[in-house]
Amino acid sequence: MPLKMGVATVTMNRPPVNSLNTEHLETLHRTFIRLENEKCRGMILTSSSPTVFSAGLDIREMYKPELEKARKFWRTLQDMWLKLYSSPYPTVAAINGHAPAGGCLLSLSCEYRVIVPKVRMGLNETQLGIVAPQWFQDCMRNAIGEREAEKALIAGRMFSSEEALKVGLVDEIAQNKEECIQKAEAFLASQANLPMLARKTVKLGFRHQTLSRLLTGREADTKIFIDYIFQPKVQKGLEMYLQSLSKKAA
Ligand SMILES: CCCCC/C=C\C/C=C\C/C=C/C(=O)SCCNC(=O)CCNC(=O)[C@H](O)C(C)(C)COP(=O)(O)OP(=O)(O)OC[C@H]1O[C@@H](n2cnc3c(N)ncnc32)[C@H](O)[C@@H]1OP(=O)(O)O
């Protein structure tokens, strides 16, 4: 995590697709805490993969899990998201590859998004037979508005880079990762002279409702997750999805 002029670039590096298991989520959470403690001036979130930003939650954490491990997984996801979404420093996602589901959530939790061409992003949970949790939905709604979010979430729509720009899911398209990082740095530079306290207060004001919805209902949210994924038909769906992903590789 190099800090250049107080700006950190956090590069996810969990091959092959940066899927988010408990350990990876813990690493991200610790990183965001450290950045806050070190009074970082801005953060760029990106990926070491040339084709994938993040494939979202690691489906193997939800497929036939032990109950306590599944609970821990979900609480760690909540912790990581609460830290990122409420970060006092400016955040940019340099989306240098596909960003389905939890990968899309990561980018939506940043303040500004730059994407490379020819990749897809969105909350595709419905297509997997699972449901994007309320706070995932809130992040999408906050980015693109009620009507577009409702349509996208019901369909589990994956947007192309161009479609994402058109609907406001991302702020800019860059030609490649290098340009993506340059544009991310330019956004952070545009924020650098703003009084930090005022900036942070306005950001948290906008995000307060979404954050408190989870903060006041964390246990209930965990229970909803557990009850949902332990349903036999949901497990069957996850099994088939995992098989389809593996078959693709074969
Ligand atoms: C109100 C009620 C609310 C109830 C809430 C309850 C439940 C909801 C809970 C959570 C919400 C879920 C959020 C999620 O994030 S679910 C994950 C969704 N992710 C996806 O659908 C992406 C799947 N992956 C892909 O589409 C592709 O892999 C890719 C990202 C486009 C990359 O393609 P590429 O061709 O480069 O790679 P491969 O497809 O060959 O994959 C390589 C390798 O990785 C494995 N893999 C891919 N994605 C995942 C994943 N998300 N988890 C685990 N493993 C993954 C894939 O199987 C391959 O493995 P192999 O061993 O075969 O090499």
Among 245, 246, 247, 248, the mutation site with the greatest number of ligand 1 atoms within 8 A of its Cβ is 245
Does residue 229 lie within any of the structural domains?
A: no
Distance (Å) from CA 15 to ligand 1 centroid: 12
Does residue 215 lie within any of the structural domains?
A: no
Does ligand 1 have an atom closer than 6 angstroms to the CB of 99? no
Does residue 241 lie within any of the structural domains?
A: no
Does ligand 1 have an atom closer than 6 angstroms to the CB of 109? no
Does residue 143 lie within any of the structural domains?
A: yes
Three-class DSSP category at 118: coil
Does residue 135 lie within any of the structural domains?
A: yes
User: Which of 211, 241, 219 shows the shortest CA–CA distance to 71?
Assistant: 219
Does ligand 1 have an atom closer than 6 angstroms to the CB of 220? no
Percent residues over pLDDT 90 in the chain: 95
Cα 113 to the center of its chain, rounded Å: 11
Does residue 244 lie within any of the structural domains?
A: no
Give tens-digit pLDDT for 92-125. Answer: 999 999 999 999 999 999 999 999 999 999 999 9
Distance (Å) from CA 7 to ligand 1 centroid: 30
CA dist., res. 209 & res. 63, Å (int) = 32
Split into its structural domains, the chain has a count of 1
Amino acid at the residue 152: A
Q: Tell me the CATH number at 153.
A: 3.90.226.10
What positions carry a catalytic annotation? 57, 102, 124-125
CA dist., res. 88 & res. 37, Å (int) = 10
Does residue 46 lie within any of the structural domains?
A: yes
pLDDT band at 246 (very low <50, low <70, confident <90, very high): confident
Distance (Å) from CA 55 to ligand 1 centroid: 5
Q: Are 59 and 47 in contact (CB under 8 A)?
A: no
**To the nearest whole number, what is the mean pLDDT of the chain?**
96
Give tens-digit pLDDT for 5-42. Answer: 789 999 999 999 999 999 999 999 999 999 999 999 99
Amino acid at the residue 173: I
Lateral strand order in the sheet of 159-160: 99-100, 120-122, 159-160
Q: Are 188 and 42 in contact (CB under 8 A)?
A: yes
Between 196-215 and 67-85, two packed helices, what is the crossing angle to 10 degrees?
150
CA dist., res. 96 & res. 179, Å (int) = 10
Does residue 99 lie within any of the structural domains?
A: yes
Domain residue limits at 26: 3-191
